[in-house]
Amino acid sequence: DTAVSQTPKYLVTQMGNDKSIKCEQNLGHDTMYWYKQDSKKFLKIMFSYNNKELIINETVPNRFSPKSPDKAHLNLHINSLELGDSAVYFCASSHEGLAGLETQYFGPGTRLLVL
């Protein structure tokens, strides 16, 4: 029943490792996003994909690589993890209506802790 799901919910890993976070939406939306929420709770967009094509790519280290195998999935792969990557990562999705992209619905978040 979950509209936007993420796995895993918690991820604890060592510096230098490579990890992936998966996101799936069953809302039939055509656009998906990744946001990062830092320790001060500030939320900032990282990437956006529309129909599997990258449309937003904010200033994010190239260690972060999103991959969209189909429009229901948007995964985030992070290489060579650093301490500063510790944060909560949210996936979201929205539908492209007549007026443009509409309300974004969020997944439950993945708390990443890099030791």
The residues binding other proteins (CB under 8 A) are 31, 33, 35, 40-45, 48, 50, 55-56, 88, 90, 92, 94, 99-106, 108-109, 111
Beta strands in 15-94 (DSSP E): 19-25, 31-37, 43-50, 53-57, 64-70, 73-78, 87-94
CA nearest to 114, candidates 34, 21, 40, 16 = 16
Q: Which two tokens stand for residue 18?
A: 């490579």
Q: Which of residues 22 and 111 has its CB atom nearest to other proteins in the complex? A: 111
Residue 68 C-beta: closest distance to other proteins, Å? 14
Q: Which of residues 18 and 58 has its CB atom nearest to other proteins in the complex? A: 58
Q: Which of residues 60 and 88 has its CB atom nearest to other proteins in the complex? A: 88
Residue 1 C-beta: closest distance to other proteins, Å? 14
DSSP structure class, residue 9: S
